[in-house]
Amino acid sequence: MTEALAIRSALLHAASINLTHICLRTDSQVLTRAIASRRRPTDLHGILSDIISLISTPTSPFIFASVVFVSIASNGPADSLAKSCLSSNLGPRP
């Protein structure tokens, strides 16, 4: 759920600053498959509908948009940075 919210937020932000080409990478294979197949699991239905609408409809603000799977092993530095940012913004976790 968090990853889907982050992708939707990134797409909305990119559209708001008039980007026309975007490639988002995620370590959530389930999410990338759901987006690619346009399957909407019940718990993500609304969020996935928003994502799919933003990237693959005639009214999409993007000329090119993709969401691709990247394994955690290949995404180590980005994952570490995201966790560091999260902990500095939210304080220590219990």
Indicate the pLDDT class of residue 8, thresholds 50, 70 and 90.
Answer: very high
DSSP 92: -
Q: Which of 31, 11, 30, 12 lies closest to 22, judged by CA?
A: 11
Q: Provide the whole-model pTM.
A: 0.76
> E strands, 28-85, where?
64-69
Q: Which of 60, 61, 38 lies closest to 49, judged by CA?
A: 38
Indicate the pLDDT class of residue 87, thresholds 50, 70 and 90.
Answer: confident
Question: Under a CB-based contact definition with an 8 Å cutoff, are residues 28 and 63 in contact?
Answer: no
Task: Delimit the domains of the chain by residue range.
Answer: 2-90
